[in-house]
Structure 1
Amino acid sequence: MIDFTLLQWLLLFFCALLIGMSKVGIPGVSMFVVPVLALIFGGKASTGILLPILMMADWFGVGYYHRHARWHYLWKLLPWAFVGVGIALWVGEVVNDEWFKNIIAILVFICIALMLWKDRQKSGNFFPDTWWFAATMGILGGFATMIGNVAGPIFAIYLLAMHLPKNSFIGTGAWFFLIINLSKFPLHILIWKTINWQTLKLDLILLPGIAAGAFLGIWLVKKIPEKTYRAFVIVVTAVSALLLLV
């Protein structure tokens, strides 16, 4: 497990750096991690390597932005997200996840288009404020995070549609993923069997990279204005969704 080449170690620490950045407000950059880890470890096995890294990074995000979370939106999403996790848990046992990742990517593009259309409207209500939109995004997000740890773009679309300020966007997302990832941890151990002592040892070795990414991400977020941040999230989300189709 730890007998990697120098290039593989560099890639692993770069992945840890990106994950740390993504959890404190540079969303989407961690999507580059998914194909890299899948290349090194294989598709399903890579999800067990990635989950504890994400969980460690979640604590950095929650620790710094926890005061800004909007729990109203979390309570709307979390029950449906657990439904999505349950569906994905079964699907992951019987179906190849690549086909589902392509569907998720297409749905992300559709959501981006709808959100941009909404931004151009001068008045009128739009469906993101309805219960069924939260339910749809919650199920999709739960499914995506269990299948391949790729729920970032879907959750970003939902919060962007709610027009949350920058810090509220980050704080709400940090709590959401910490809760969801903690719930996934025993499922990976007991059912998928993708997490064991060896994988956890590797994850702990990568902790310095996660911490460095978190501090770098916090510094970058402070430098980005609100309007620029929203545009940045949209662009990175679109690129991240495109990576799922590759």
Structure 2
Amino acid sequence: MLAVFAVIGFIIGFSKTSIGGVAAIGVAVAALVMPAKESTAAILAVLIVGDLVAIRFFGRHVDWSLLRSLVPAVVPGLVLGTLFLAWVSDEVLRRSIGAMILALVALQLWARWRRDGHEQGRRSRADHPLMAAITGTAAGFTTMTANAAGSVMTLYFAAKGVDKARFVGSFAWFFLGVNLAKVPFSVGLGLMTWADVGRAVIVVPAVVLGGLAGRALLRRLRQEQFEVAVLLGSGLAGLLLVTS
């Protein structure tokens, strides 16, 4: 099991410093080797380690104005996610989140297809306060239920045209706060234990290696390539959750 979590740790570290949606691949792998609800808590500490690694590399690029519009809506999403976890089955949980991610990817692909000559209009819609509220709530819900909010946030940041360094830096700070906020909810549901924390400590080297690999890739990707990779990673994560 530790070997599996080392692989998951590498994937998470890689995603935190490069293509955010790819983290959901690690989530899907964890859900395949243990019950889905338990897996969400089991990798929470690993995700926090990944956030810290990403902050070490890209934290100075954070855009606080971008995050301030999202944070107020996250807490309602966390509460809704906690209630959902209390009664939904593992299978329904995985497939619901996967279907949501695939729908968001399809919407973003449609927006990219239509954006030629309408770039400013696309940006203005993404800047609407209602879009920030919807994204914040969806991020809180999906991160609490399946640690899959990375795909939600990557699609939102991509729609706003956030450059890749600011993207990764803001992403890291946002999820460090959100993941720390999830800890009491997970403990209250009886899902997170000290064993999960110990496992995260053991796989720290794998997370750091993944973070270094992700940073190396990010430096080589052009902005357009980065946006395409984000969509592909999110789509793959959604498919894994729906079919696992």
Summarize the alignment of residues 83-122 of structure 1 with structure 2, pairs less than 5 Å apart: 83-119=76-112, 120-121=114-115, 122=117
Equivalenced residue count is 238
Query: Cα distance 1:80–1:97, how it changes in 2: closer, same or farther (>3 A)?
Result: farther
**Aligned amino acid, residue 9 of structure 1:** L
Partner of 1:151: 149
Asked whether the equivalents of residues 155 and 230 of structure 2 are also in contact (C-alpha less than 8 Å), the reply is no
2:21 to 28, 39, 53: 28
Partner of 1:51: 44
Q: Which amino acid aligns with 1:162?
A: K
Residue pair 1:97, 1:147 contacting (<8 A) in 2 also:
no
1:244 is aligned to: 241
1:64 to 57, 61, 80: 57
Distance 1:144 1:114, change over 3 A: same
Q: CA separation of 1:12/1:84 partners in 2, compared to 1, >3 Å: closer, same or farther?
A: same
Mean CA deviation greater in 234-243 or 149-158: 234-243
Relative to structure 1, the CA distance from residue 48 to residue 107 in structure 2 (aligned partners, 3 Å threshold; closer, same or farther) is: closer
Instruction: Report the Cα distance in structure 2 between the residues aligned to 1:75 and 1:38, rounded to whole angstroms.
Output: 32
Give the CA RMSD over aligned residues.
Answer: 1.7
Alpha-carbon offset, residue 40 of structure 1: 2.6
Return the alpha-carbon distance in structure 1 between the equivalents of residues 100 and 39 of structure 2. Answer: 23
Q: 1:13 aligns with which of 6, 22, 31?
A: 6
Q: Is the Cα–Cα contact under 8 Å of residues 20 and 214 in structure 1 kept in the other structure?
A: yes
Q: Which runs of 5+ in 2 are unaligned?
A: none
Matched, 1:138 2:136: yes
Q: Alpha-carbon deviation of 1:10?
A: 2.7
4+ residue runs of structure 1 moved beyond 4 angstroms?
none
**Cα shift at 1:137:** 1.3
SS of 2:20 mapped into structure 1:
coil
| Per-residue deviation, residues 201-220 of structure 1 (Å, max 9, x unmatched) | 12211111111111111111
Change (3 A) 1:44 1:104: closer
Q: By how many angstroms is 1:97 displaced?
A: 4.9
Whether 1:222 and 2:223 are equivalent positions in the alignment is no
Counterpart-to-counterpart distance in 2, 1:108 and 1:172: 20
Aligned partners of 1:199 and 1:108: how far apart in 2?
26
Q: Does the residue aligned with 2:43 lie in a helix, a strand or coil?
A: helix
| Same amino acid, percent of matched pairs | 29
Q: What TM-score comes out, normalization by structure 1 length?
A: 0.90
Cross-structure match for 2:121: 125
Kept in 1, the 8 Å contact 2:12–2:22? The answer is yes
Are residues 114 and 91 of structure 1, via their aligned partners in 2, closer, same or farther at CA, if it must alter by over 3 Å? closer
Give the letter aligned to residue 167 of structure 2. F
Q: Which secondary structure does the structure 2 equivalent of 1:28 belong to? A: helix
Asked if structure 2 preserves the Cα contact closer than 8 Å seen for 1:108 and 1:157, the reply is no
Could you say if the C-alpha distance between residues 35 and 108 of structure 1 is closer, same or farther in structure 2, counting changes exceeding 3 Å?
closer
Partner Cα separation in structure 1 for residue 184 and residue 225 of structure 2: 39
Q: Deviations over 1:105-133 (max 9, x none)?
A: 33333333333333333136343221111
Q: Which runs of 5+ in 1 are unaligned?
A: 1-7
- Equivalent residue of 1:194, what SS? coil
